[in-house]
Amino acid sequence: MSSSTSSLEARHRQLGLTDDEYARILDRLGRTPGDVELAMLSLMWSEHCGYKHSRRLLRRLPTEGRHLLLGPGENAGAVDVGDGLAVAFKVESHNHPSAVEPFQGAATGVGGILRDVFAVGARPIAVLDSLRFGEPLDSPRSRYLLERAVAGIGHYGNSIGVPTVGGEIYFEQSYEQNCLINAMCLGLAPHERLIRSAAAGPGNVVVLLGALTGRDGIGGASVLASAELGEGDEAKRPSVQIGDPFTEKKLLECCLELLDRELLVSLQDLGAAGLTSAASEMAASGGVGITLDLCQIPLREVDMEPFEIMVSESQERMLCVARPECVGELLAVCERWEVLATTIGGVTDGDALQVLHRGSVVADLPVSVLIDDCPLYDLRPEPPSSELYSPPEAVLGGGESPAETLLALLRSPNLASRRPVFEQYDPIVQSRTVRRPDEADAAVLALPDGSAIAVSIDGNGRRVACDPRRGAAEAVYECAANLACVGAEPLGLTNCLNFGNPEKPHVAWQLTEAVEGLAEACEALGVPVVGGNVSLYNEAPSGPIFPTPVVGMVGRLPDATRAGRLGFAAEGDAIALVGAFEPSAAGSELSKLRGYAPVGELPIVDAQTLRSAHAAVRSGIRSGALRSAHDIAEGGVAVALAECCIAGGLGASVRLPDGLDPFAEAPGRAFIVAGPPAALEGFAVIGQVGGDTLAIAGLLEVDVSELTSARERGLAEWV
């Protein structure tokens, strides 16, 4: 073996390729790859770009629906919302970069998901976030990550003028070393402006738009998200991208004008793996080749090597294809928006991504090798033989009264008011927001014709850790329940699958079961998956995170003025319990406070009963018969009632059905609704709105002011 071959083989391991994968590359190419080619292949064959351990599983998810316009495989999915308009949406993770540098990791996560949405021609109109951290009370690191990640999200969204309208935060010990930063974006577009990423037309021109290309982000998302984080991760800080929302704002407006003028054939975001992934994915989608000249690319640093240019993950960049006769007008539009635009190559016949540098070919790879030949691995799922997660430290001993238990739940980090967080975000910029955070179970955004769209994001790692299949299904059911509470019918779903190391059998089992649960729930509700993201290797030496599939769902309601609220609205209204409510204490918030590990099966769901409950609530809100609706989730029916009292500033007197555990949970199945007594005929009425206390007969009576104080005080101590 020659010394040059030996050094290349050593380098492929450093770049994350296994010996078998390197042998596969040699077989496919019939030669030894050059340095630039090996760098490109290592990223396209990474877990983050290649989905090596999940692609086969994802085929199980249903992707067809009557409202679907764009499905998986595009930068974002899109659904029809009527009146010639489409809503594009997607959720993605920026977990590993945020664990290393939380401000920029979270900020560029927002920037990246915004680009995914306007890459299909939609104007971003809202952002939501789903966050997970370690225990804030016990961990200065978790408090730091929370503070800086929230600041990064607010910085990017507020600066670019896109409202952050909702989200969720959970705190668990399993996320101590691996925080989760999932960002979701929605965009609005006329049908005719939607564009795909597929390059087309040999002879057409490839143009790079946006910021200068630098060394920031080299090996960032694609490398950080393809391996476990361990000791010494401070050294990875330079791999995290740096974001500039003001540059992205100009890029956004420029791209939308180019699309309105019909100057583009295709458009693609530059995210993980930079030019390598953007160019190869565009070529693969269009069945063409692409040639790039690196000497044409504007650089932030003049001495960059060719491989650095090809894998740089510098932010605020887009790649587009245009017809030659349109390039002059394209450049003029970019100049007016002060967006750097440079022709860097062209579309070719054949199946080659060719890269030139100073007149020499430094890479010449079949697109099929970069995209299609990435190995796909069969998982080896096995249920764990013992408990995976240690019990949390007990906060409650079990001898507390029901009133003391309720107040402790409302103060707990997972149930306390998120006001200290969402007040750092602008929820109303663009003037579409009908329901802000804390006003309803789902965010509501008005459409020009008087209708509205609703959106919710949800997941519960503790419940999924108990029972991956049913826990993942619950995330779908709860999102749909949240939409029902504002009167919206689900149109489509996106997801982000956050799991540990899939090469370990117990993690492979969690992932396999969770995907099956998502598929079953989507099929039961008739909701297609329009796209999403997988984030694996969220694992530290102490063990994996809770399996955390996060679901984002978009729905439509016909009248924005009738969007539901969660707070009790009027003295004398009747209160009803809607849905078949058979809750479980497994994985509940009370079980956590009492120091129990997440174990135990979750209840089976009867899909027909669930759909009927959702339809009844949705219909009641749309007709105006119901003045408020709130789904029963974390903390059970007692916490749901308390939240309705707090949000409306009104008390309530109720009597729960015999044998109902007030603190057990079954997300997505049942609701607390309220309205005029005559309107609730046929519902299971359990009480009445009124007074200044929450009184649950035979259980507790607590002033609404005391409930409010407990809930408001929780996170304020740490944020």
pLDDT at 33 over 60: yes
Q: Which residue has the tokens 């779908």?
A: 476
DSSP code per residue over 189-212:
EEGGG--------TT-EEEEEESP
Single out the residue of 355, 298, 437 nearest to residue 38, CA to CA. Answer: 355
Q: Are 434 and 560 in contact (CB under 8 A)?
A: yes
Average pLDDT over every residue of 215-237: 50
Pairing between strand 352-357 and 443-446? unpaired
Q: What is the mean pLDDT of the chain?
A: 93
The tens digit of pLDDT for each residue in 178-225 reads 999 999 999 999 999 999 999 999 999 999 999 999 987 775 434 434
- What is the radius of gyration, based on Cα positions, of the chain? 26
Question: How many angstroms separate the Cα of 486 from the Cα of each of 169, 361, 563, 627?
Answer: 21, 58, 5, 10
What pLDDT shows up at residue 146? Answer: 95
Determine if the pTM surpasses 0.85: yes
Which range has the worst mean pLDDT, 61-65, 229-233, 514-518?
229-233
Could you report the per-residue pLDDT of 16-25, keeping only the tens digit for each? 899 999 999 9
Q: Is the pLDDT of residue 2 over 70?
A: no
* Residue carrying the six token digits 């690319």: 297
**pLDDT at position 719:** 67
Q: Is the pLDDT of residue 4 over 70?
A: no
Mean pLDDT in residue range 327-344: 98
pLDDT reported for residue 558: 98
pLDDT at 219: 53
The predicted model gives 14-43 an average pLDDT of 94
**How high is the pLDDT of residue 385?**
87
Catalytic residue from among 12, 48, 155, 614:
48
Confidence of residue 233 (pLDDT cuts 50, 70, 90): very low
Q: How far apart (Å, rounded) are the C-alpha atoms in residues 184 and 638?
A: 30
Residue 374 identity: C
At 251-262, the pLDDT tens digits run: 999 999 999 999
pLDDT tier at 1 (50, 70, 90 boundaries)? very low
CB 288 within 8 A of CB 373: no
Q: Is 48 a catalytic residue?
A: yes
Q: What structural domains and CATH numbers belong to the chain?
A: 195-375 (3.90.650.10), 402-716 (3.30.1330.10)
Residue 611 has pLDDT above 60, yes or no: yes
> Mind listing the pLDDT tens digit for each residue in 82-114?
999 999 999 999 998 899 899 999 999 999 999
Q: Residue 470: in which H helix or E strand, if any?
A: helix 468-486
Model confidence at 8: pLDDT above 70: no
Phi, psi of 566 (to 5 degrees): -95, -20
Could you say which of 12, 67, 94, 630 is catalytic?
A: 94
What DSSP string runs through 537-587?
--EETTEEPPPEEEEEEEEEES-GGG---SS--STT-EEEEES----B-TT
Nearest partner of 614 among 441, 439, 483, judged by Cα: 483
614 carries an active-site annotation: no
